[in-house]
Structure 1
Amino acid sequence: MLPAEMEDYLRDVQIDRGLSKNTITAYHQDLLTFTKFLEKKHKKLQDVDHLLVLTFLNELRSLGRANSSVARMVTTLRKCFAYLKKEGMVAHDPMQTIKPPKKAQHLPAVLTVEEVDTLLDLPDVTKPLGLRNKALLELMYATGLRVSELVGLTLADLHLDLALIQTIGKGDKERIIPVGEVAIDWLKRYLRDSRPFLLKGQKSDQIFLNDHGRSLSRQGVWQIIKKLVEQAGIKKDVSPHTLRHSFATHILENGADLRIVQELLGHSDISTTQIYTHISKGRLTQVYDEFHPRA
């Protein structure tokens, strides 16, 4: 259980800043981990100084936490203690001299076009769940949707006559995304032939349903993709986000402008999108080495 001061902080950021449920959950988990550390050390929030924070961060590293995880923890604690200091709940801010570890640049796994084709051809579209999986995968690859955006889609978000869908992304930002004909065709087939069967007489506005007629979860999508990747014999570390990475990489390799890709992915900062230029350059090097006679 969090101290009352930290609960106040989470309520404040949720109401005033309008952060997403996933972000608030991540903050809560980080603060809970820190609270358990303080309880083990028999310390209160008011006792925390920068040396105690450094001890905590070193403990996280000794437990095998990645640099990115430790960096996120530093960010969470920095924002929380800034709030506590401003509100007079602590006398000083111990995070002012704490710097987060540098994040190692991690290039995400990307599927080749051939691997994507193999994956998308696997679902058995003669069965309701197979048709759902086919429509789901086609839509993910056609739009670059985050998995949270995908499972949150409702019937009102579809504008298939205009070849568009709308979604609410990070920071509650709405964006409109074009959808290709192939994905539209499979989505229409799923809505007509499979979704009514999965509903089992229930009512739901959610597009993608599980076999109990309820909204498909993010974990459910992960399990679907994991199973299909194994069937396809793909040895890469593939997650639902991999189709998003592949979408961005493939359209960049085919000449799309980086700003357009930024809009399609819903990135607030183009520096986030620029990681895909590194992947594309890697592909250029691979092609050069393979086909140039003197490479």
Structure 2
Amino acid sequence: MSTSPKNRQTIRLANDDKLNAELISHLNSFVYYLTVEKGMAENSVESYRRDVRDFLEYNPKPLSEYTAQDITGYLTDLMEAGLVNTSVARKRVALKQFFTFLEDNGENIQVDFAQVPKIKIGQHLPDYLDVETMLKLLDGLPTSTPLEKRNKVMLELLYATGMRISELLNLTIHDINFSEQVILVRGKGSKQRFVPFVDSVAVLLQEYIKDVRPVLLKFEHTDILFLNNRSQKLSRMGFWKILRKITQEAGLKQEITPHTFRHSFATHLLEAGINLRIVQALLGHSSLNTTQIYTHINTRYLVETHRMYHPRA
């Protein structure tokens, strides 16, 4: 199929040394498909090409080995790095188009995009739960089985410390200091920080390490704190599935992500009057500007409180 002279565009093909010949070939075929068969605008095609190339460079491997977990981990890293939701959502669309194109052309593709969480667009302020809803969710978590007890500890810890999900899943048993009641958190760029945790979480952690983790560990040897039922490090995708199931069973209509706990942590501290710079240190933000996104929520809370309680309101 060819384009008419009037609508003919320049097809910019990939030629990047970071990708092997097979990946470059498939990317070029995708670019040709978008340009010639779908007739997309040149700027749109270039955006798609760049989005797909960035992902392939981020995690280069045979196409048949990519999974939904790879896509989710990549998009999560972009969001944690501060990329706006609209850009992350566009990258998800580009990757979905790319892998669908490959599958339609007979490639053995294992990526199921139904397992890749959709990205909210137009959400300028971070999602968070109010204090009552958060406590109701956490207090209602079942703790009958070892896995349920593990899930309870993880969610309580996320809310108590404001850790990123990647930081939580990378914790080791040596990072917990019960005498000082702090956790050594390894953040982005090899940066480390100590984050305190409350007494109730200390009790849960001690019980988990003493009674639950040995059951999950079985006969394996690893320092990783949170394990799956195969005695391995819990993955991001595994955590997403756990959280989705928990929120569905709790009847929450709002979409809850691991970052919801981090945002709720920061928002509730600011609502309680904690200094912004302390919240910055707890979150591991290198710039105060990053933390200041939460002051918009805090201001809204103050306005609502003022209207509710001021005698002249």
With the length of structure 1 as denominator, give the TM-score of the two structures. 0.69
Of the three residues 257, 261, 266, the one matched with 2:284 is 266
Q: Distance in 2 between matches of 1:258 and 1:106?
A: 19
Letter aligned with residue 69 of structure 1: V
- 1:256 equivalent to 2:274? Answer yes
Residue by residue over 1:42-86, the C-alpha shift from the partner in whole angstroms, topping out at 9 and shown as x without a partner, is 9xxxxxxxx9546534999xxxx963238989xxxxxxxxxxxxx
SS at match of 1:162: coil
Residue by residue over 1:236-286, the C-alpha shift from the partner in whole angstroms, topping out at 9 and shown as x without a partner, is 121111000000000111111111111111112211111110111112222
Q: Distance in 1 between matches of 2:312 and 2:26?
A: 55
- 1:56 equivalent to 2:56? Answer no
- Mapped contact 1:143–1:247 kept (Cα < 8 A): yes
Match of residue 17 from structure 2: 5
SS at match of 1:161: coil
Match of residue 223 from structure 1: 241
Match of residue 165 from structure 1: 183
In the TM superposition, residue 196 of structure 1 has moved relative to its aligned partner by 0.7
- 1:197 equivalent to 2:196? Answer no
For residues 128-147 of structure 1, what are the structure 2 equivalents within 5 Å? 128-147=146-165
Unaligned runs of 5+ in 2: 1-13, 36-40, 51-83, 93-120
In the TM superposition, residue 128 of structure 1 has moved relative to its aligned partner by 0.7
% identical equivalent positions: 41
SS at match of 2:17: helix
- Mapped contact 2:34–2:45 kept (Cα < 8 A): no
Match of residue 112 from structure 1: 130
Q: CA RMSD in A?
A: 3.4
Q: Distance in 2 between matches of 1:69 and 1:33?
A: 22
Residue by residue over 1:87-123, the C-alpha shift from the partner in whole angstroms, topping out at 9 and shown as x without a partner, is xxxxxxxxxxxxxxxx966112111111111111223
Match of residue 100 from structure 2: none
In the TM superposition, residue 293 of structure 1 has moved relative to its aligned partner by 5.0
- Mapped contact 2:27–2:49 kept (Cα < 8 A): no
Of the three residues 232, 251, 255, the one matched with 1:214 is 232
Match of residue 68 from structure 1: 87
- Mapped contact 1:143–1:178 kept (Cα < 8 A): yes
Match of residue 70 from structure 2: none
Structure 1 residues 281, 205: closer, same or farther in 2, change over 3 A?
Answer: same
- 1:152 equivalent to 2:152? Answer no
Letter aligned with residue 5 of structure 1: D
Structure 1 residues 194, 285: closer, same or farther in 2, change over 3 A?
Answer: same
SS at match of 2:195: strand
With the length of structure 2 as denominator, give the TM-score of the two structures. 0.65
Letter aligned with residue 308 of structure 2: E
Residue by residue over 1:157-203, the C-alpha shift from the partner in whole angstroms, topping out at 9 and shown as x without a partner, is 11121111112111221111111111111111111111111112221
Aligned residues: 234
Match of residue 10 from structure 2: none
Structure 1 residues 270, 105: closer, same or farther in 2, change over 3 A?
Answer: farther
Q: Distance in 1 between matches of 2:284 and 2:238?
A: 23
Structure 1 residues 170, 285: closer, same or farther in 2, change over 3 A?
Answer: same
In the TM superposition, residue 136 of structure 1 has moved relative to its aligned partner by 0.8
* Misfit runs of 4+, over 6 Å: 31-34, 70-73
